[in-house]
Amino acid sequence: MVPSSGPAAGGTTVTLTGTGLATAVAVRFGATPATSFTVVSDTHITAVAPAGTGTVPVTVTSPGGTSNGISYTYSVAPTLSGVSPNQGPTSGGNTVILTGANFTGATVVIFGATPATSFTVVSPMQITAVVPAATAGPVGVTVTTPGGSSTLQSAYFYVSTPVLTGVAPSSGPLSGGNTVTLAGVHLIEATAVRFGTTSASGFTVVSDSQITAVVPAGAAGLADVTVSTAGGTSNAVSYTYLPAPVVTALIPSQGPASGGITFTLTGTHLAQTTTVLVGGTPAGFTVVSDSHIVVDAPPGAPGTVNVTVTTPGGTSAPKTYTRVASPGV
């Protein structure tokens, strides 16, 4: 008999194979007559199972008597109660756990309208399934067994892979601690932000297109910044870790209090200079190279003042510059 099981509600068409079936007058599932039956030949009958429970013998009756019984099992319909995790990438390929009841003999697991790539019935209460690919959005998940089907609506959510378009500012100090803004799309479900292989010190999802992140410490040079969500890991955008500027010499080290002259700062890591302060006052400057800056000395009161250089990598240790009063007669 094929199949040998079906739902408690009945309605399953089974094929009985044997001999002497041509004159059949009745087919019974236990004590209940089949909903209908058709004699195909002396060796085959098709019958529609009535409603029932448990395991019952199926018999055929003819003028010659009643046959031996063959077991038919009424299966309880499955109940799907949960999917974990309940979201993943549109590319599929991840494994989820379905929980519920009466999963024994499951024949199909479907995500939306697409069958699972594969599945394993672990127990009557658990199935592991490999998620198929699909477009972004929620889908119902269905489990089918000989006892029927159970669908949990909007049980699984396909998440688009995040995409990064930029990071600003795009550089900062080796010590980290500064905050940058990441721009892109599909960022709302972010679970991790990384600079190279190091997780951000912290991050805040502002919107689906923006994240603010606190930069961790890192080594000098470029680092790939990525965002991960249930939909996968984004493309990388570049962030540069910059050493703090170092000023080794200031020439000439003095000038008139009235300003109007230039002096040269020599050192290292000066190419990204954003500010030069002379006695706390911003001064005009020209970056000549990574090791030279020409500074316009601003006017000020006579005396010694500190000169510092600031870049995204930090602020240099101060050098001294002396403003000299004009001689009087």
Q: With respect to residue 329, please indicate whether it lies within any of the assigned structural domains.
A: no
Edge-to-edge strand list for the sheet holding 13-17: 13-17, 44-48, 36-41
As a whole number of Å, the CA-based R_g of the chain is 39
Q: How many domains does the chain fold into?
A: 4
**CA gap 8, 76 in Å, rounded:** 6
Residues 155, 83: one domain? Answer: yes
Q: Is 232 inside a domain boundary? A: yes
Other CB atoms within a 10 A radius of the CB of residue 214 amount to 15
Q: Is pLDDT of 329 > 70?
A: no
Task: Measure CA of the first residue to CA of the last residue in the chain; give whole Å.
Answer: 126
Say if residue 42's pLDDT is above 90: yes
User: What is the residue range of 183's domain?
Assistant: 163-242
C-alpha span between 225 and 289 (Å, rounded): 28
pLDDT score for 219:
96
For residue range 299-318, list pLDDT tens digits in order.
999 999 999 999 999 999 99
pLDDT at 126: 98
DSSP code per residue over 84-153: ES-EEETT---EEEEEEE--TT--EEEETTEE-SEEEEEETTEEEEEPPP--SEEEEEEEEETTEEEEEE
Among 106, 136, 159, residue at a domain's last position: 159
pLDDT digits (tens, 9 = 90+) for 146-201: 888 999 999 999 999 999 999 999 999 999 999 999 999 999 999 999 999 999 99
- Both 167 and 153 in one domain: the answer is no
Residue 37 covered by a domain? yes
The answer to the question of residue 275 being in a domain is: yes
d(CA 110, CA 105): 15
Q: Which bin fits 279, alpha (ψ -120 to 50), beta or left (φ > 0)?
A: left
Three-state DSSP class for residue 133:
coil
Query: Strands 70-75, 54-62: parallel, antiparallel or unpaired by DSSP?
Result: antiparallel
In 3D, which of 241, 69, 79, 55 has the Cα closest to residue 149? Answer: 79
State whether 221 and 190 are in the same domain. yes
Answer whether 116's CB lies under 8 Å from 142's CB: no
Strand, coil or helix: 276:
strand
Mean pLDDT to the nearest integer, 89-95: 96
**Encoded tokens for 83:** 């999917």
For residues 203 and 238, state if they share a domain: yes
Domain boundary among 122, 137, 159: 159
CATH number at residue 181: 2.60.40.10
- Residue 185's pLDDT is 97
User: DSSP E strands: which ranges in 147-284?
Assistant: 148-159, 163-168, 171-173, 179-185, 192-195, 198-199, 202-207, 210-214, 221-229, 232-233, 237-242, 246-251, 254-256, 262-268, 275-278, 281-282
In a domain, 211, yes or no: yes
Are 312 and 253 within one domain? yes
* Cα 58 from Cα 85, distance rounded (Å): 43
Residues 39 and 110 in one domain: no
- Among residues 28, 49, 75, the one where a domain terminates is 75
Q: Is the pLDDT of residue 83 over 90?
A: yes
Same domain, 144 and 212: no
